[in-house]
Amino acid sequence: MSGTLYLVPTPIGNLDDISRRMADILGRVDFIAAEDTRVTVKLLNHLGIKKPMAIYHRHSTEASGRAILCRLQDGESCALVTDAGTPAISDPGEELVAQCAARGIPVCAVPGPCALVTALAVSGQPTGRFTFEGFLAMNKKNRRAHLDALRGEERTMIFYEAPHKLAATLQDLAEVFGPDRPLSLCRELTKLHEEIRRTTLGEAVGYYQENSPKGEFVLVVRGAEPQAEQEASLEDGLAQVDKLRGEGLSLRDAVRQAAKELGLSRNQLYDLAVGR
Ligand code: SAM
């Protein structure tokens, strides 16, 4: 029988966010697959756990993934961890989970630290509907296509960004969504210097022209205001009458139906239609 792949989140800045279940699973599995074993060994030392480790990082997902799958199929259990936060979320893991799912290998996700959820919760932006956009591409064309696709997005949008690219990203976001769009800049979450700056895209651009960004950031951008529904005009009504007449309806029936569909006055539409 196959072993289980456990997705074990690790703290995004505060070691006290290690849960008992995380520590228990890390202590119980046969081996740990880590994004960077030097980072993970520090966590294991903190927990007093000694465990064989394998590397699973974004540049070796294919080869190391195959080795991990073989061991899982041989019945070993594995905990996948990344440097910080939840595996498979803008971090290695997505492909490995898909491959386990395709082979019927059990996968168990342990809930825990995740920068996007922490940022959204504290942002003060609407949380009912949101979209996670991860990192914007480095490539200018792909980056522009990504942002263009979000122009009318009404849900709250969440982006990850590295400090050295923050200023350029804020500039691009302000160009696409406008300088007045509300933004919550969530910096160094769960750490000593945690900071939540509730501002606008335009103000944030100005601020980071004066101050160089330090630390890790999640950007939570308010969605677009919902578009007010356009009221139909009498011209729209006439066009609909013509269409219905073409389908064989009498003038009277076509007017009645078009007026109902478009919320127009039946008498006004009728007078206009007969007067043509
Ligand atoms: N899988 C991780 C998670 O679930 O949180 C995210 C990994 S991704 C490679 C790293 C990005 O997450 C950073 O560039 C930053 O945008 C965000 N991030 C991670 N830790 C953070 C923190 N303490 N404060 C703010 N943002 C953080």
pLDDT at site 192: 96
- The Å distance, Cα 136 to ligand 1 centre, comes to 14
**Average pLDDT of span 198-215:** 96
One domain, residues 103 and 128: no
pTM: 0.84
DSSP string, 113-166: --HHHHHHHHH-S--SSEEEEESPPSSHHHHHHHHHTTTT--SEEEEEE-HHHH
Q: Is residue 253 part of a domain?
A: yes
One domain, residues 103 and 137: no
Which of helix, strand or coil describes residue 212? Answer: coil
- Give the single-character DSSP code of 58: T
Helices 61-73 + 94-103 axis angle, to 10: 40
- CATH number at 12 reads 3.40.1010.10
Which residues lie closer than 8 Å to 16 by C-beta, 6 or more apart? none
**Average pLDDT of span 135-143:** 93
Spatial separation of the C-alpha atoms in residues 217 and 12, rounded to whole Å: 11
Of ligand 1's listed atoms, the one at least distance from the Cα of 86 is: 4
- Give the single-character DSSP code of 85: B
pLDDT greater than 70 at residue 228: no
pLDDT greater than 90 at residue 61: no
Domain boundary among 197, 221, 245: 221
Please say whether the dihedral angle defined by the alpha carbons of residues 172, 115, 36 and 163, taken in this order, is positive or negative: positive
One domain, residues 160 and 197: yes
Domain boundary among 109, 134, 161: 109
Task: Look up residue 219 and give its amino acid.
Answer: L
pLDDT greater than 70 at residue 57: yes
One domain, residues 258 and 199: no
**How many domains is the chain partitioned into structurally?**
3
| Contact by Cβ (8 Å): 200, 181 | yes
One domain, residues 240 and 170: no
pLDDT greater than 80 at residue 154: yes
- The Å distance, Cα 276 to ligand 1 centre, comes to 65
Q: Which span out of 122-126, 237-241, 271-275 was modeled with the highest average pLDDT?
A: 122-126
Domain boundary among 80, 109, 138: 109
Report the percentage of the chain scoring pLDDT > 90. 89
Q: Is residue 206 part of a domain?
A: yes
Quick one: tokens of 272? 């206009």
| Contact by Cβ (8 Å): 149, 139 | no
Spatial separation of the C-alpha atoms in residues 184 and 221, rounded to whole Å: 6
Spatial separation of the C-alpha atoms in residues 237 and 18, rounded to whole Å: 63
Summarize pLDDT for 84-117 with one digit per residue, the tens.
Answer: 999 999 999 999 999 999 999 999 999 999 999 9
Which residue, by CA, sits nearest to atom 16 of ligand 1? 160
Q: Is residue 228 part of a domain?
A: no
**Average pLDDT of span 117-135:** 98
Of ligand 1's listed atoms, the one at least distance from the Cα of 159 is: 16
One domain, residues 187 and 250: no
pLDDT at site 212: 95
- Of the chain, the end-to-end C-alpha distance in Å amounts to 79
pLDDT band at residue 276 under the 50/70/90 scheme = confident
One domain, residues 47 and 87: yes
**Average pLDDT of span 123-138:** 97
Q: Is residue 183 part of a domain?
A: yes
pLDDT at site 128: 98
pLDDT greater than 80 at residue 78: yes
Spatial separation of the C-alpha atoms in residues 126 and 119, rounded to whole Å: 12
How far is residue 251 CA from its own chain's centroid? 51
Q: Is residue 226 part of a domain?
A: no
- The Å distance, Cα 186 to ligand 1 centre, comes to 10
Q: Which domain holds residue 261?
A: 234-274
Q: Is residue 229 part of a domain?
A: no
pLDDT greater than 90 at residue 59: no
- The Å distance, Cα 246 to ligand 1 centre, comes to 59
pLDDT greater than 70 at residue 157: yes
One domain, residues 179 and 137: yes
How many other C-beta atoms are found inside a 10 Å radius of the C-beta of residue 260? 10
Distances 142 to 149, 153, 155, 225 between C-alpha atoms, Å:
11, 18, 21, 25
Q: Is residue 44 part of a domain?
A: yes
One domain, residues 140 and 209: yes
One domain, residues 65 and 84: yes
**Mean pLDDT over each residue of the chain, to the nearest integer:** 95
Which residues does ligand 1 sit against, CB inside 6 Å?
A: 12-13, 82, 84-86, 89-91, 114-115, 160-162, 186, 188-191, 216-218
Q: Is residue 73 part of a domain?
A: yes
**Average pLDDT of span 187-214:** 97
One domain, residues 162 and 243: no
- The Å distance, Cα 12 to ligand 1 centre, comes to 7
One domain, residues 121 and 102: no
